[in-house]
């Protein structure tokens, strides 16, 4: 039986390349509002809620509308009927319809 050869030393690992930063969501709201507390999209609509400013922005078919959210902290959206574009949001008070919020622009 032949004697075992000693193991050869391992080659050093090459340094890892730095990871590229992850791309965030595209900013489609005015910069002065900061970062939204909640945002999302569904079908041809997207929304962003800014709790500190008490503003809900809704973009449908390229038209941006701003709402005063009052004392609602919005956390989600549901589009009930894509034909009528019925939209509801969830807040700490339950479900609210878009018509319950005051449009500011």
What tokens does 86 get? 């019925």
User: Given a cut of 60, is residue 70 above it in pLDDT?
Assistant: yes
Tell me the backbone φ, ψ of residue 40, rounded to 5 degrees: 180, -175
**Which residues pair with residue 39 across a beta bridge?**
48
Check: CB of residue 45 under 8 Å from CB of residue 60: yes
Confidence of residue 69 (pLDDT cuts 50, 70, 90): very high
HSE (CB half, 13 Å, CA atoms) of 99?
2
Output the pTM of the full model.
0.69
- The predicted pLDDT at position 48 comes to 92
Stretch 49-73: mean pLDDT: 92
- Domain ranges, ordered by start, for the chain: 35-103
Confidence of residue 24 (pLDDT cuts 50, 70, 90): low
DSSP state letter for 89:
E
- The predicted pLDDT at position 19 comes to 67
Dihedral sign, CA of 89, 93, 94, 96?
Answer: negative
Sheet holding 63-68, edge to edge: 38-42, 45-50, 55-60, 63-68, 102-103
Confidence of residue 35 (pLDDT cuts 50, 70, 90): very high
Check: CB of residue 96 under 8 Å from CB of residue 72: yes
CA distance linking residue 3 with residue 31, whole number of Å: 72
């Amino acid at each position: 039986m032949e004697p075992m050869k000693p193991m050869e030393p391992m080659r050093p690992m090459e340094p890892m390349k730095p990871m590229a930063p992850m791309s965030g969501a595209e900013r489609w709201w005015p910069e002065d509002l900061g970062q939204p507390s909640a945002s999302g999209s569904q079908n041809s609509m997207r929304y962003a809620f800014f709790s500190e400013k008490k503003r809900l922005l809704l973009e449908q078919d390229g038209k941006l509308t701003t709402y005063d959210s009052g004392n609602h902290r919005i956390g989600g959206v549901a589009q009930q009927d894509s034909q009528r574009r019925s939209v509801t949001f969830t807040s700490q008070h339950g479900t609210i319809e878009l018509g319950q919020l005051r449009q500011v622009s």
